[in-house]
Amino acid sequence: MGRRKSRIQPEEQALFREAMQDVRPLACDRVLHPRQQPRPLPRSRLADEQEVMQELAHGLWDPLELESGEELLFARPGLQHGVLRKLRRGHYSVEAELDLHGLTSHEAREVLAEFLHICGRRGVRCARIIHGKGNGSVQRIPVLKAKVSHWLRQRDEVLAFASARPTDGGTGALYVLLRSTAGWG
């Protein structure tokens, strides 16, 4: 077989040779790729997670003290941690209860205010307020839950509140610790 005849014009070949006259071949004709580094390990985070797993496995944590992100928890500054822990565990006797299911936000706020006033007059120290989990609301979002939390934080007579134990309504209810009402009228 003979050589194929080039379709490149002689003028173009001359221009190419002139443009390439100073070009020298590379000493190395291979491309060296940098060695890929292994991904960094989050050693601190892994150690923290391992420590938590060990503490859980050895019973160093009380399951009622673990938060899932759905619980509500509030305490006034200065309230002892032990008091809050007892409230979360349901150790205080519930002396009054309010169920806000089915109420509008406006109705719920008025009923809650009246309930707290009555609790104050009667000397109630611990009450349970059922706000619901939002299963019947649009997009299953607990509307009253956030509002009740906000309203309770504004009330001076509320020392602390915490989501109830599962047997008392779980994240759909609150234990509320009220200030001693000696002298209230």
pTM for the complete prediction? 0.60
Among candidate residues 65, 83, 175, the one with its CA nearest the CA of residue 130: 175
The CATH class given to the 69-178 domain equals alpha beta
Full DSSP string of 121-168: HHT--EEEEE---STTSGGG--HHHHHHHHHHHH-TTEEEEEEPPGGG
Nearest-Å Rg of the Cα atoms of the chain is 36
Cα(167)–Cα(171) distance, integer angstroms: 10
Q: Where are the chain's structural domains?
A: 69-178
Distance CA 2, CA 117 (A): 108
Of all helices (H) and strands (E), which one includes residue 74? strand 73-75
pLDDT in tens, the chain (185 residues): 556 666 888 899 899 999 999 988 777 777 777 788 888 877 877 777 777 677 666 655 444 444 445 788 999 999 898 999 999 999 999 999 999 988 888 999 999 999 999 999 999 999 999 998 766 666 666 778 889 999 999 999 999 999 999 989 888 899 999 997 654 44
